[in-house]
Every structure is written in structure tokens, then in C-alpha cells.
């Protein structure tokens, strides 16, 4: 009776296919479990963040919670998926210990060339802990001004008034000018002709400011009494009168535009002249 080598090879190949299929299924299942865990963690972060935002007393606190939610989700994406991939590789017989050791050696070598990246992450952590920047703030970073759309551990994404998007690495941020944290001042200078009655103009300006304090939607954007500070300077062609609103953070520009519109209407109605540059020429006598 002869031995059937072909049958044996078929059985060995079948056993390998079964083993490979089992390993493949395990690999996919672990990745699916990691993805499911990530989904649950992100949903939990969203739920906790929503509750904290509902309890927040101010808009600034709500913006900070939103910023932290984005960062925590970003970290969860990296940590959970990395752990899932490593665990999946381990199930199919790829030892992760040599990979981690090699990664450590490579990391040391790369670290010397990635100091700026480390600085970005360190500065990002400091920015979040100290609550210097939040999503929705209007800030000036590295000579770029815009609305904060995203804050990560590596960069801050700004969109300026023209719609341009700027990515500012955290390590390059040396100073933060936040123009919408807590409250803001809308400083407004109004110029009138020298022949105008200053007290009359101050009265008109004061009346416009008080009207805005009592009318929606401006009333909800203002935080304090309106103040006409008086004559700011005597310019070449105008008397400059300064006034000031205390506004909710980030609303100073809308308040300024509305106030100027009302000033123009009131001055037209009361025949108050807004000056323009003038030049007096004298004809030399022969």
C-alpha cells in the first residue's frame, strides 16, 4: 500500500488556510473592538461635555469646554487606535516588543530633528491648561488675526476676515492677544467740524449710546453703561470726540458699526457737519 503524498499536502494546506483565516478574523475583530471602544469613548466625551456646557455660567466657560472636548477626542483617536493596531498585530504572531524597542531607538534619533514638534505639543498643553485660547475666540497669533476654528496639541487653526485659513504651530506662539475673552471695549472716535457745538454733539452721541443700551439685539451684547469720554484730540481738520461701550467678548466690532450708522443718521438729521480735509490757499500779491 503506497503513501498518498498529495492527500497529505492537501490536508496541510487546508489546515494552514484554517489557521490563516482564524488569525485574519481575530485581527479584524480586534480592530473592530478598538473602533467600537473609540466610538464609545468619544460619545462619552461628547455627553460629559454637553452636560458641562449646560452648567457653564458664561459663554467663555462653554467655549473652553468645547475646546477641551476636541482635544480629548483627538488624543483618544491616537491612543485607542494605536493600541488596537498593536494588539491586532500581536494576535497574528507579530511580536510588538522588538517593534517598540526599535521605535525607541528610532525615536531617540528622530527626537533630535523633531524638537520643534515636541515644543508644539508642550506649548499646546500649556495653552489648554492656562485657558489662553478657545474655539470661537478672536485672537492674534504670530502677527495673524482671526477666529479660532480648531485648537490641537500641535497647532491653532485661524480663519481671518477674508476667509483665509492660517495654521499656526503652537511652538511659534510667543504671545497671545485674545480680543474676545470675558469682555471687550468698543472704543469709538467721532470727528466733527470745528464750528460745531461740542456739547450738542456730546449730547447726541450720549443719546445714541443710551438708545442702544435699551434696544435688542444690542442690549444683550452690552455689559455696562455707555460713556462719552469727551474731546480726545484737536486734529488738523476736526474735533475728535471719544466714547466707549463695554461689550460681550467679540461683539465690539458689530457695536462699532451700528453706532457709526446711527451717528451718521443723527448728524444728517441735526445738520452736524462731519469734516473732511481742507486746504486754505492764499494768492500772493504782485
* CATH of range 5-113; options 3.40.50, 1.10.3470, 1.10.287, 1.10.101: 1.10.287
Quick one: how far is CA 185 from the chain centroid?
A: 21
Residue (of 228, 233, 191) closest to 213 by Cα position:
228
The per-residue pLDDT for range 156-196, each reduced to its tens digit, is: 999 998 999 999 998 888 888 898 888 899 999 999 999 99
Q: What are the grid coordinates assigned to 151, written together?
A: 485648537
**DSSP one-letter code for 219:** G
Report whether pLDDT(254) > 80.
yes
Residue 1 pLDDT: 46
Q: How confident is the model at residue 266 (pLDDT cuts 50, 70, 90)?
A: very high
CB 91 within 8 Å of CB 78: no
Instruction: Spell out the domain ranges in the chain.
Output: 5-113, 132-178, 183-270
Q: How far apart are CA 178 and CA 156, in angstroms?
A: 13
Report whether pLDDT(62) > 80.
no
Query: Is 183-270 a domain of CATH 3.30.2420.10?
Result: no
Fold of 132-178: SH3 type barrels. (2.30.30)
Residue 33 pLDDT: 85
Report whether pLDDT(138) > 80.
yes
Amino acid at each position: 500500500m503506497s503513501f498518498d503524498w498529495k492527500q497529505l499536502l492537501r490536508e496541510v494546506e487546508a489546515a494552514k488556510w484554517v489557521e490563516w483565516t482564524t488569525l485574519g478574523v481575530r485581527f479584524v475583530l480586534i480592530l473592530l473592538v478598538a473602533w467600537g471602544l473609540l466610538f464609545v469613548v468619544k460619545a462619552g466625551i461628547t455627553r460629559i461635555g454637553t452636560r458641562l456646557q449646560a452648567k457653564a455660567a458664561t459663554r467663555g466657560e462653554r467655549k473652553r469646554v468645547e475646546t477641551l472636548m476636541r482635544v480629548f477626542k483627538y488624543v483618544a483617536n491616537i491612543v485607542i487606535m494605536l493600541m488596537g493596531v498593536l494588539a491586532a498585530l500581536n494576535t497574528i504572531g507579530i511580536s510588538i516588543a522588538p517593534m517598540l524597542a526599535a521605535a525607541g531607538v528610532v525615536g531617540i534619533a528622530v527626537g533630535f530633528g523633531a524638537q520643534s514638534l515636541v515644543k508644539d505639543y508642550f506649548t499646546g498643553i500649556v495653552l489648554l491648561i492656562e485657558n489662553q485660547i478657545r474655539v470661537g475666540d478672536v485672537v492674534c497669533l504670530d502677527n495673524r488675526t482671526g477666529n479660532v476654528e480648531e485648537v490641537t496639541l500641535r497647532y491653532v487653526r485661524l480663519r481671518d476676515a477674508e476667509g483665509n485659513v492660517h495654521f499656526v504651530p503652537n511652538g511659534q506662539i510667543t504671545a497671545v492677544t485674545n480680543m474676545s475673552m470675558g469682555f471687550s471695549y468698543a472704543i469709538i472716535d467721532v470727528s466733527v467740524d470745528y464750528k460745531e457745538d461740542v456739547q450738542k454733539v456730546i449730547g447726541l452721541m450720549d443719546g445714541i449710546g443710551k438708545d442702544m443700551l435699551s434696544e435688542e439685539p444690542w442690549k444683550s451684547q452690552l455689559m455696562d453703561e455707555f460713556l462719552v469720554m469727551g474731546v480726545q484730540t484737536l486734529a488738523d481738520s476736526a474735533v475728535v470726540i471719544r466714547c466707549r461701550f463695554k461689550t460681550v467678548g467679540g461683539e465690539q466690532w458689530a457695536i462699532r458699526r451700528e453706532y457709526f450708522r446711527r451717528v451718521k443718521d443723527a448728524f444728517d438729521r441735526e445738520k452736524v457737519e462731519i469734516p473732511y480735509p481742507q486746504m486754505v490757499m492764499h494768492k500772493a500779491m504782485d
